[in-house]
Structure 1
């Protein structure tokens, strides 16, 4: 006789629940294991808690806290941002980070100057590269042409400068013994020697100097220092050349990456301002190069006509000094005039009149036409920026002072003044 509770068609007894639904066995087993793991071990002591008394919370915060405690367990106490301990700790961390940044910056100052110089050169050559691109020249070819012309100009400068210096130093060394002997045989030196014993005193000092190992070591150290300075200069020139190539090739991608740092709604405005700033810097660099070349060419012609010695070397010096805005041409004129005095005061006067007259012509007619595409900077701001840049970074600071001042003035005009006009 069958069981009335049997619902199977064959009349057999129904299998147990564990056999009828085997899929629930792993879930039940895991749940049992989880409950067993939550139970404390036999003989274990409860852990002491040092929580602060809970604060009064509203219903939303209480519900959120209950949810967080259910998911992650009860959180520990939180320290307020205004707590003196928190403020002191974060202030100490900030001072430490600032000192670390200062230490890193002070140890890589030379590298930063190289990077800044390469970026300045790249911004100056970028308009030339873009001009070549408009003439159907690929950008890589335009970069190679621009950098090759710059490298050849620098190499030509050193190729002309170094032989001239070597020739002049050799001439001085060859003529120095004759000059010294003529001075010793002069009546003036004989009178001094008879009254003060100058000859014996000079002999004693020379013997002390030769027999002093520290003095001889100082001479050797000075020679080594000059050699290391020349080596560092050549290495720096190579680094600047390589970085200029990289900056020129990556200039479009660098600009796009920089624009992505601004919010999307302001990117068109940031892009317009950045393009205007970089364009003005490039135009300023190209214009300053043209002004310096014209200045040096005029000085070379005048020096050749009036007979100033070392005309080629001095023309290069004038070109370098002419890169410094406002005061560079004045310094070059004074320097060449003083050297021209060695050929006679008439030569110096003629050169000074011609050169300083050209500086006035350049200031009123040449520079305004060449610099018309660059951002204009008031005279007072230009003088202050050149002095400040020269004090901070030397010649490089004086060179980039006016473009930097122009960029700052443009930002103030387009951002700060526009914002102030709206209120």
Structure 2
């Protein structure tokens, strides 16, 4: 007599159904998040900007300003500064591009004669010179841009729409900040309300500290490079110094290299030896900033380890691209401050591994 087949436990089909439903729900959530990723990025950028602007708005509100007009005033000030920077840089680039196009044939002829006289190398550069002459491809570049006005206009309209969306969200987050926090806290228990408000306060403090420290370092970079460029007689010293101050401080990782590249190229067009002095001056100032200025300023505003900052920038770039690189450092500082607030610190035991001098002596031995 054969043994009866064991019956499947009743919970197995139910577990399979629950698993499939859970997997389907996760896929649906991931799909929806992917579809609204642009909105999520806009909200994150708006939240970051609101944290940066709110301290100034609160300062004005304590002096009798209504939050709406105070927020609009800060917006106007920021947009005026950005507009002035873009106008100055646009004028510099237009001037240098025009100069390069006009003087390129002379540069090419000089290189041709130098190679022939020094190394006996004969180059045929007539075709290349013709590209920069009247009617050449490089000279017609401005007219060719007109043919792409449709695509340029479409991209510009998209950028304007996203910018206005960010500004609208930021305005409501700042102007109606207390009202929004009251609405959120009304759905939480008193303990959770205190936790949420503490996190919000830390985020505002750390983001404000980040902007403050970057602004101080940017101002120092602007003043020093303005003096250097003026002494070296680099064209347009004020806009170039402004470029260095902003790009080196507010664009993580690559900002330092982008900041130095433009002044070096413009100095190279002016005088090659000047470009070498500009490169040397920028490199020296960067070392002074890294080891002297930045530690003193950030220790008073936002103390975060450089390795942690670099890692969070890479993580932010992987998750959100350019937006992630801009938000990474203040977000990391906020998380670090929030965690340190609720982590209990203990007294350290004696160990050579905890002693800098002990570690150095072991290495020397």
TM-score, scaled relative to structure 2: 0.71
Which of residues 323, 340, 345 in structure 2 aligns to 1:396? 323
| Residue of structure 1 in register with 2:178 after alignment | 252
Aligned mates of 1:137, 1:349 — CA distance in 2:
51
1:359-393 Cα shifts (integer Å, max 9, x gaps): 34434554455445534212221121122223333
Counterpart of 1:284 in 2: which secondary structure? Answer: helix
Alignment of 1:254-269 (within 5 A): 254-269=180-195
Is the Cα contact below 8 Å between 1:281 and 1:403 reproduced in 2? yes
Q: 1:174 to 1:230 in 2, by over 3 A?
A: farther
* Bigger RCO (CA 8 Å, 6+ sep): 2
Q: 1:330 to 1:178 in 2, by over 3 A?
A: closer
- Counting matched residue pairs gives 322
Q: 1:261 to 1:326 in 2, by over 3 A?
A: farther
2:198 pairs with 1:272: yes
Larger Rg: 1
Is the Cα contact below 8 Å between 2:202 and 2:338 reproduced in 1? no
Q: 1:243 to 1:321 in 2, by over 3 A?
A: farther
Q: 1:161 to 1:379 in 2, by over 3 A?
A: closer
Which of residues 211, 226, 230 in structure 1 aligns to 2:152? 226
Which of residues 213, 216, 219 in structure 2 aligns to 1:290? 216
| Residue of structure 1 in register with 2:33 after alignment | 105
Is the Cα contact below 8 Å between 1:281 and 1:374 reproduced in 2? no
Q: 1:159 to 1:343 in 2, by over 3 A?
A: closer
TM-score, scaled relative to structure 1: 0.63
Which of residues 17, 22, 30 in structure 2 aligns to 1:94? 22
Aligned mates of 1:384, 1:393 — CA distance in 2:
14
Q: 1:256 to 1:107 in 2, by over 3 A?
A: same
| Residue of structure 2 in register with 1:386 after alignment | 313
| Residue of structure 2 in register with 1:141 after alignment | 69
1:245-266 Cα shifts (integer Å, max 9, x gaps): 1111122223333434543334
Q: 1:183 to 1:305 in 2, by over 3 A?
A: closer
Q: CA deviation at 1:138?
A: 3.0
| Residue of structure 1 in register with 2:169 after alignment | 243
| Residue of structure 2 in register with 1:68 after alignment | none
Is the Cα contact below 8 Å between 1:321 and 1:329 reproduced in 2? yes
Aligned mates of 2:112, 2:276 — CA distance in 1:
33
Q: CA deviation at 1:124?
A: 0.5
Counterpart of 2:234 in 1: which secondary structure? Answer: coil
1:154-190 Cα shifts (integer Å, max 9, x gaps): 12122223333334444455556777899999997x9
Which of residues 282, 285, 288 in structure 2 aligns to 1:355? 282
| Superposition CA RMSD, Å | 4.1
Is the Cα contact below 8 Å between 2:112 and 2:123 reproduced in 1? no
Counterpart of 2:321 in 1: which secondary structure? Answer: helix
| Residue of structure 1 in register with 2:58 after alignment | 130
| Residue of structure 2 in register with 1:336 after alignment | 263
Structure 1: unaligned runs, 5 residues or longer: 1-79, 203-217
| Residue of structure 1 in register with 2:139 after alignment | none
Aligned mates of 2:292, 2:113 — CA distance in 1:
56
